[in-house]
Amino acid sequence: ETIINQIAAGEVIERPASVVKELVENALDAGARRVEIATVGGGLNLIRVSDDGAGIPENELQLAIARHCTSKLSEDINDIRSLGFRGEALPSIGSVSRLTIRSRTADSDSGFEILVDGGRTGATRPAAANRGTLVEVRDLFFATPARLKFMKGERAETTAINEVVKRIAIAFPHVRFTLSGPDRATLDLNAVPDQIERIAQVFGKEFPENALELDAEREGVHLSGFVSIPSFSRANALQQFAYINGRPVRDKLIAGAIRGAYADTLARDRNAVAALFFTLDPADVDVNVHPAKADVRFREPGLVRGLIIGAIRQALAGAGI
Ligand code: ADP
Ligand code: MG
């Protein structure tokens, strides 16, 4: 079972930032209003995510790390992707690291913890804990040295973690996120009333007055959000965030369409800052192309591309640009 989990980990857990994404999503699923993230060594030495969410009851701790055991995977090992990734994250992480989950629910006055060490699960035992859940991942990939060799180094991993947290945080303005640790890049995003204020926290408080608002629709695909005026552009493309039905996605088509919209107004080496929110019938988009990579496949890519370019061009024209 450890081997199977390690194979799954190869799919779901590409790098420390993937762990952060899974743990933060779990915290949000548990209704957290505060999510604290700390990392050491670009997340390779330590990732700690604590939340004030619902917590995990004592009798469910074992389940949390054992879900979707071997039965489904052993039927067809080539079919891992089609399983999706529900219930895979914690067992996967536990198979390649030293994982501690400590939790207390609101109606329990004692907390409990469970340890998994390279796939070996210990017994559930009592532990002092605040309400909510604390997950610690130490020595990520120590159990899979081949994977460890492929890490790009501390700085790159720290940057990737920072981007993942920002990406998720934009979709949850009511939640406070902190990212800290000896790793240089840190974030402190207080809870704010709406998305534009969260975007200002992430992109800089000068963003709103340098932004154009988008609001457009084509054949059932709705696009809202904000893009920067050309003078507020950046050298890298890291400041473009897209969401489909509230879920963060990263997609070449979206990036390409943004680039196309600014073709006449931005130099090739500059990138617009953008936060785009798409709402559409879930049947018209496949967001599970790959469990970890947030790629998407639109049923009508041409329509979406046209929508993005049209909306941005119209906003630029409206501002006399
Ligand atoms: P999934 O999120 O797909 O269900 P995971 O492996 O990520 O699978 O988590 C397994 C289970 O552990 C979750 O379904 C949830 O019941 C529990 N869990 C994990 N993290 C938390 C958390 N931070 N707060 C409460 N429950 C959690
Ligand atoms: Mg999960």
Task: Identify the CATH number of the domain in which residue 18 sits.
Answer: 3.30.565.10
Q: Ligand 1 in contact with 260 (CB < 6 A)?
A: no
Mean pLDDT of 20-35: 93
Instruction: Kindly tell me if the per-residue pLDDT of 208 is higher than 80.
Output: yes
Q: Are 113 and 34 in contact (CB under 8 A)?
A: no
| Ligand with minimal distance to 56 CA | 1
Q: Ligand 1 in contact with 86 (CB < 6 A)?
A: yes
Q: What percent of the chain has pLDDT over 90?
A: 67
**Domain ends where: 130, 157, 189?**
189
Instruction: Kindly tell me if the per-residue pLDDT of 68 is higher than 90.
Output: no
Distance 60 CA to ligand 1 centre (A): 10
Q: Is residue 222 located within the same domain as residue 313? A: yes
Distance 93 CA to ligand 1 centre (A): 12
Q: What is the pLDDT of residue 49?
A: 98
Range in 7-21, 73-87, 258-272 the model is least confident about: 73-87
Q: Is residue 68 located within the same domain as residue 210? A: no
Instruction: Please check whether residue 197 lies inside any domain of the structure.
Output: no
Q: Is residue 120 located within the same domain as residue 95? A: yes
Q: Is residue 50 located within the same domain as residue 154? A: yes
Q: What is the pLDDT of residue 283?
A: 85
**Strands, E, within 148-282: which ranges?**
176-180, 187-189, 211-218, 221-228, 240-244, 247-249, 274-279
How many separate domains does the chain show?
2
Instruction: Please check whether residue 61 lies inside any domain of the structure.
Output: yes
Q: Is residue 169 located within the same domain as residue 33? A: yes
Instruction: Kindly tell me if the per-residue pLDDT of 148 is higher than 80.
Output: yes
**Strands, E, within 34-97: which ranges?**
34-40, 46-51
User: To which H or E segment does residue 198 belong?
Assistant: helix 195-203
Mean pLDDT of 299-315: 96
> Which has the closest alpha carbon to 305: 269, 252, 268?
252
Q: How, if at all, do strands 34-40 and 111-117 pair?
A: unpaired
Mean pLDDT of 299-317: 96
Instruction: Please check whether residue 181 lies inside any domain of the structure.
Output: yes
Ligand 1 atom closest to 88 (CA): 6
With 0-12 / 13-18 / 19 or more C-beta atoms within 10 angstroms meaning exposed / middle / buried, residue 278 is buried
Q: Is residue 169 located within the same domain as residue 286? A: no
Q: What is the pLDDT of residue 270?
A: 92
3-state secondary structure (DSSP) of residue 27: helix
What pTM, to 2 d.p., does this model score? 0.87
CATH number at residue 313: 3.30.230.10
Instruction: Kindly tell me if the per-residue pLDDT of 27 is higher than 80.
Output: yes
Instruction: Kindly tell me if the per-residue pLDDT of 81 is higher than 60.
Output: no
Q: Is residue 184 located within the same domain as residue 207? A: no
Mean pLDDT of 111-124: 96
Instruction: Kindly tell me if the per-residue pLDDT of 264 is higher than 80.
Output: yes
Q: What is the pLDDT of residue 83?
A: 31
Q: What is the pLDDT of residue 287?
A: 73
Q: What is the pLDDT of residue 69?
A: 42
312 falls in which pLDDT band (50, 70, 90)? Answer: very high
Q: What is the pLDDT of residue 67?
A: 62
Q: Ligand 1 in contact with 87 (CB < 6 A)?
A: yes
* ipTM confidence: 0.99
Q: Is residue 180 located within the same domain as residue 207? A: no
Greatest mean pLDDT among 7-16, 61-70, 248-257 lies in 248-257
Mean pLDDT of 52-81: 66
Q: What is the pLDDT of residue 255?
A: 92
Range in 80-84, 209-213, 220-224, 252-256 the model is least confident about: 80-84
Residues spanned by the domain of 22: 2-189
**Domain ends where: 189, 219, 239?**
189
Instruction: Please check whether residue 232 lies inside any domain of the structure.
Output: yes
Q: What is the pLDDT of residue 184?
A: 65
Instruction: Please check whether residue 33 lies inside any domain of the structure.
Output: yes
For ligand 1, atom 4, the nearest C-alpha belongs to 87
**More confidently predicted of 319 and 75:** 319
72 falls in which pLDDT band (50, 70, 90)? Answer: very low
Instruction: Please check whether residue 112 lies inside any domain of the structure.
Output: yes
> Which has the closest alpha carbon to 255: 244, 239, 266, 267?
239
